[in-house]
Structures are given as structure tokens and as C-alpha cells.
Amino acid sequence: MNIVGILTATLVVGIVGIFIGLFLGVAGIRFRVEVSEKEEAVLSALPGNNCGGCGYAGCSGLAAAIAKGEAPVNACPVGGEPVGNKIAEIMGVEAQAGVKQVAFVHCKGDCEKANTDYEYTGAEDCRMLGFVPNGGPKSCNNGCLGFGTCVKVCPFDAIHVVNGIAVVDKEKCKACGKCIAVCPKQLISLVPYDAKQIVACQSADKGPVTMKACSVGCIGCGLCVKACEHGAVKVENFHATIDHEKCVGCGACQEKCPKKIIVGM
């Protein structure tokens, strides 16, 4: 190739490059999305975990919603009250007081207390157990499978499998809800951080069936209901539940429970 060809090729590449640069510059100006100062300030106040626990696609999505007035200033479960107060100041509004929550696994059927029907050696993913007999090797079809799918999705290292069941570290938990969404047995829920008594069982089986499957399963006997003087405990679907707004933490239900499945936080 002679020198004229080389110079011509260089000139063509340069002109194309200039054209592309101008095109991108004009496109960037024309299609630029304006971000308000409040939105930027809110985004900088958020923790940046992008966990999705607020229901939006990351912190930027939540910041945009708060700036538009479509989401409350304390919508970030990770930041909690301190972040909510800071964002309220940015938005010029008053932050509503919120109750700190943490995740809780409603199962105490560990390796010693829960019976098993067979030995499972397949993929260790709780979501896959829906395709095996009885939904898993445990005799209780409502109990924690213990393969740690919730552990893998937790971005805060707040949940671990201990002796065959998932256990939440309430001090590390940020209530993002990822473990709740991934649990195929729907055993995990958000409860008040300062809850005094919680029923650690969610079995939907009748008492005799539950007793054959697990030594600590709730049998729906109703003794806890009779013991509670505040109407905070009731039995539904063969297991007890506690209304934390009514519970005063007297411990009467926990004391009367014959299976000792009502526990303190």
C-alpha cells in the first residue's frame, strides 16, 4: 500500500470518528434524563446496597420515587430510622415513626427434633425440593428444609443453617426481605425486633400428624390462647399465632405451651 492509500484510510477513519463523537454528544444532550437535586441528595443518603427490599429496583429507583412523592421517606429497610430521618430533612417533611423489624424463621425442627422419611442426596437448593417426594426428606412438610437457599441470597450474612434449620442473627438482619421471597415453604416473616414471644412453628397439619413428624411442632391445643389475658394469641389452621401489637410480653403463653414452641427473641 502506498503513502496516498495510508493517508486516505487515516483521513476516513478520523472523519468517521469525529462524526460518531458529534452524534453521541448530540444524542447525550437530546436524550439526557434530568435528575433533580433532591433525588440526587436522597440517593446519596441511601446506603447503596441495592437489595430491593424496598420494592424498587435498587436505591436509584427508590430515590426517584421518594423525590416524586411516590414512596415514604422511611421506605428503606436497610437504613432504618436514621436514614429515614435524614431523607425527611432533605424532603422537608416529618418522618413517621416506624417499628424496626427483623426476619424470623418459624421452625425449630432441627436434626434431633424433626423426623425424616428418607435420605436426600440431590441438589442442595430448597427451591428444588418441590420436585421430590413429599417436598423434601423431612416428615413435616411445612418445616425448614435446611439447604440454605436463604443463606445464599442474604447480602448481610445474617442467616445461617444451624443443625439443619435456618437461624437469623437479629443484630445483622436489615429486613430486606430477600430470604422471605426465596423460601419455598414460606417459613420466614418479618417480626418486630423487640418482640417478646413468637411461635416458632408454622405447621398446617393436625396435632396427631404434627406429633409424628416433629417433637416440637405446634399441635394447636389452645392452652396458649387460654393463658393469654390480652387476647394476643389465637389458633388458626392448626397452629398458634401471636398478635405482636396486643402482646405485652408477660410470657404466660410461653410457659403453658406443652411443646415449648413459643420462644423469646
Residues 121-155: tens digit of each pLDDT: 888 899 988 788 888 899 998 999 999 999 999 98
Of 102, 174, 110, the C-alpha closest to 138 is 110
Q: Same domain for 136 and 68?
A: no
pLDDT for 5? 66
Q: Same domain for 185 and 141?
A: yes
Of 198, 173, 208, 180, the C-alpha closest to 108 is 198
Q: Same domain for 172 and 199?
A: no
Mean pLDDT of 7-18: 72
Q: What is the pLDDT of residues 170-216, one digit of tens each?
A: 999 988 889 999 999 999 999 999 999 999 999 999 999 999 999 99
The domain tally of the chain equals: 3
pTM over 0.95? The answer is no
144, 171, 192 - which closes a domain:
192
As given in the structure block, the three cell numbers for residue 260 are: 415449648
Q: Are 189 and 102 in contact (CB under 8 A)?
A: no
If you write DSSP's letter for every residue of 137-153 in order, what string do you get? SBS-TTS---S-HHHHH
133, 162, 192 - which closes a domain:
192
- Is residue 57 in some structural domain? yes
pLDDT reading at 48 higher than 90: no
Q: Same domain for 151 and 230?
A: no
CATH number at residue 214: 3.30.70.20
pLDDT for 258? 95
Q: Same domain for 114 and 153?
A: yes
- Is residue 2 in some structural domain? no
Between 46 and 36, whose confidence is greater? 46
- Is residue 15 in some structural domain? no
Q: 75: domain range?
A: 37-91
Whose cell is 429486613? That residue is 175
> Mean pLDDT, the chain, as a whole number?
87
91, 113, 128 - which closes a domain:
91
- Is residue 20 in some structural domain? no
Q: Same domain for 215 and 140?
A: no
CB within 8 Å of 263: residues ≥ 6 apart? 108, 197, 198, 200, 254
Between 38 and 233, whose confidence is greater? 233
pLDDT band per the 50, 70, 90 thresholds, residue 21:
confident
Helix residue ranges per DSSP H, the chain = 3-30, 37-45, 58-67, 80-91, 149-153, 178-182, 207-213, 223-227, 252-256
Q: What is the pLDDT of residues 103-118, one digit of tens each?
A: 999 999 999 999 999 9
- Is residue 17 in some structural domain? no
- Is residue 257 in some structural domain? yes
Whose cell is 469525529? That residue is 18
pLDDT for 33? 53
CB within 8 Å of 38: residues ≥ 6 apart? 67, 90, 91
Residue 120 dihedral angles phi and psi, to the nearest 5°: -100, 135
* Three-class SS state of 44: helix
pLDDT reading at 1 higher than 60: no
Percent of the chain with pLDDT over 90: 49
As given in the structure block, the three cell numbers for residue 64 are: 426517584
Q: Same domain for 206 and 241?
A: yes
Q: Same domain for 238 and 221?
A: yes
